[in-house]
């Protein structure tokens, strides 16, 4: 017997990732004001109002109404801002890597007000510093050394290996696995 009650909530959030789920549905990762990072299923169907934008994109600033019962389901979503437009092409790739990093590394459903405010501020201005996020998440870039040669002249963070690297040691790592810091 399922004893978990259904909980409804409303929160602002920024979309970190959108994945297809089955034929019609989507699974979306959000960084949210009230719930921290969480994943929710977006069911394509009549329950979604006409205000729902089918183009829910990474870096959309949205208001979500959702329910939680065993899993999160989005019942309504309104896109208020398209933050992706704020980033220049140079910052865009970094921003997407950061979104991916936060999606993979933040614990689920741990609200973090400071992180939320910083992320929204950076999306508003279209610029961000990885090292700020890394140190906030406990990676401590200021005292870190290259994981391969111990140099303190760091230029990158491998989010696959979760280690800092200097310029020469990071040169043969695929670009999509690196955050340049
Ligand atoms: Zn090195």
- Over the stretch 99-121, which tens digit does the pLDDT of each residue have? 988 998 899 999 999 999 999 99
Which residues make up the CATH 2.40.50.140 domain(s) of the chain? 7-83
Distance 173 CA to ligand 1 centre (A): 12
The Å distance, Cα 149 to ligand 1 centre, comes to 4
Q: Which CATH superfamily is domain 7-83 in?
A: Nucleic acid-binding proteins (2.40.50.140)
Please write the tens of the pLDDT for every residue from 73-96: 998 899 999 999 999 988 888 899
In three-state form (DSSP H/G/I as H, E/B as E, the rest C), the secondary structure along the chain is CCCCCCEEEEEEEEEEEEEEECCCEEEEEEEECCCEEEEEEECCCCCCCCCCCCCCCCCEEEEEEEEEECEEEEEEEEEEEEHHHHCCHHHHHHHHHHHHHHHHHCCECCCCHHHHHHHHHHHHHCCCCHHHHHHHCCCCHHHCCCCCCCCCCEEEEECCCCEEEEHHHHCCCCHHHEEEC
Residues less than 5 Å from ion ligand 1, measured at CB: 146, 148-149, 151, 166, 169
Distance 70 CA to ligand 1 centre (A): 45
């Amino acid at each position: 017997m399922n004893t978990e009650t259904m909980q409804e909530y409303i929160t602002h959030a920024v979309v970190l990732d959108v994945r297809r789920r089955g034929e019609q549905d989507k699974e979306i990762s959000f960084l949210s004001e009230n719930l921290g990072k969480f994943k929710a299923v977006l069911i394509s169907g009549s329950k979604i109002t006409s205000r729902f934008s089918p183009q829910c994109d990474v870096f959309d600033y949205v208001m979500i109404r959702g329910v939680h019962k065993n899993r999160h389901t989005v019942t309504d979503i309104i896109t208020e801002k398209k933050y992706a437009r704020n980033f220049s092409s140079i910052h865009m790739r970094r921003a997407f890597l950061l979104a991916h990093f936060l999606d993979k590394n933040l614990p689920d459903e741990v609200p973090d007000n400071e992180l939320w405010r910083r992320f929204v501020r950076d999306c508003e201005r279209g610029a961000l510093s990885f090292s700020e996020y890394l140190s906030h998440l406990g990676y401590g870039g200021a005292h870190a050394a290259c994981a391969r040669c111990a140099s303190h002249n760091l230029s990158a963070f491998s989010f696959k290996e979760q280690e800092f690297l200097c310029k020469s040691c990071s040169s043969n790592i695929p670009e999509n696995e690196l955050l340049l810091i």
